[in-house]
Amino acid sequence: MAGNDYLTQIVTRILIYGILVLSVELCWGQTGIFTFGQAALFGLGGYVVGLITTKSTLTDIGILLLIAIVVGAVTGLIIGIFLFSGKRVGELYVALVTLAISYICERLANSWTVLGSGNGIPGIPYPTIFGKEIGSATGLFFLAFVVFAIALILSIIIVNSQFGLTMNAVRDDEERAEFFGYQRSIVQIAVFVFAAALAASGGALFAVSEGFVSPSMSGLALSTTTVLWVVLGGRGTLFGPLIALTFLEAVNIKMQEALPSLWPILVGLLLLITMIFLPKGLTSMPAKIRESRRKTASS
């Protein structure tokens, strides 16, 4: 593979994970839904596309994305109703239930022969658009870029709308949000459904760009990593987690080669230091520096 193609593939993967990160940020960062289950929905989108493309001749990316989005949204709706339609539940409860869902999905993908068991589904064909195959790394990059851009623009619009304010109100104080005429459960379910659709579309893109799906893409490791990106970048900011993802994924490749056993420990340390000294993430660092300079100047 040419060096440029390799780089393009890395950027494409970052864009796809970016869609997944946006889904976690909308849930947790903006609405306070502490989800560890977005990888399960990401995997769902990937497996749906993997099954369809390997069992039929359908490869049109528009239709594949639509199917993945619908399946993701319906699954998100079912989980959302289960989690949020009754009495208020705490963040920890949501985290544990979604963690369990991720675990079940990974185990299911590992053991169910229809899903290829531990081998996953290989040989997923390149997608097509208007009958034309998107078979190059550059083509797949543009595809991922367009879907990511749409996801980002939609997220920005939502976060800056009256509904976005409501999401923040629910995040800060679910009980108080109801005092202002907002039905907490509807807000949480709506956000969870939208985020599930985003995650599933990311999974669908992952399947067609990598050419395979495997149990690990729906499991605990990816779910946890996504939450870490949000923590590192800064919960409550759309761009912070995206910056953290880009930085870690970019550095990851070189560091895994240079320091294969030390790198995971360094990432853990970075996370620990960030949580202690910059609880609002790395993107809060400039504001923190400005504040400390102001304090120094005034004293």
Residues that bind other proteins (CB under 8 A): 162, 165-166, 168-169, 171-173, 175-184, 236
Q: How far is the CB of 186 from other proteins (least distance, A)?
A: 9
Structure tokens at 181: 């005429």
Return the residue matching tokens 């169910």: 112
Distance CA 204, CA 95 (A): 24
Class of residue 167 by CB neighbours under 10 A (exposed 0-12, middle 13-18, buried 19+): buried
Q: How far is the CB of 85 from other proteins (least distance, A)?
A: 12
Considering the complex, state which of residue 75 and residue 284 has its C-beta at the smaller distance from other proteins. Answer: 284
Considering the complex, state which of residue 179 and residue 277 has its C-beta at the smaller distance from other proteins. Answer: 179
Distance CA 115, CA 31 (A): 33
Q: How far is the CB of 291 from other proteins (least distance, A)?
A: 11
Structure tokens at 13: 């993967």
Considering the complex, state which of residue 130 and residue 180 has its C-beta at the smaller distance from other proteins. Answer: 180
Considering the complex, state which of residue 18 and residue 29 has its C-beta at the smaller distance from other proteins. Answer: 29
The angle formed by the CA atoms of residues 91, 96 and 100, to the nearest 5 degrees, is 150
Dihedral through CA 25, CA 224, CA 34, CA 153, nearest 10? 10
Q: How far is the CB of 187 from other proteins (least distance, A)?
A: 10
Considering the complex, state which of residue 107 and residue 294 has its C-beta at the smaller distance from other proteins. Answer: 294
Q: How far is the CB of 295 from other proteins (least distance, A)?
A: 14
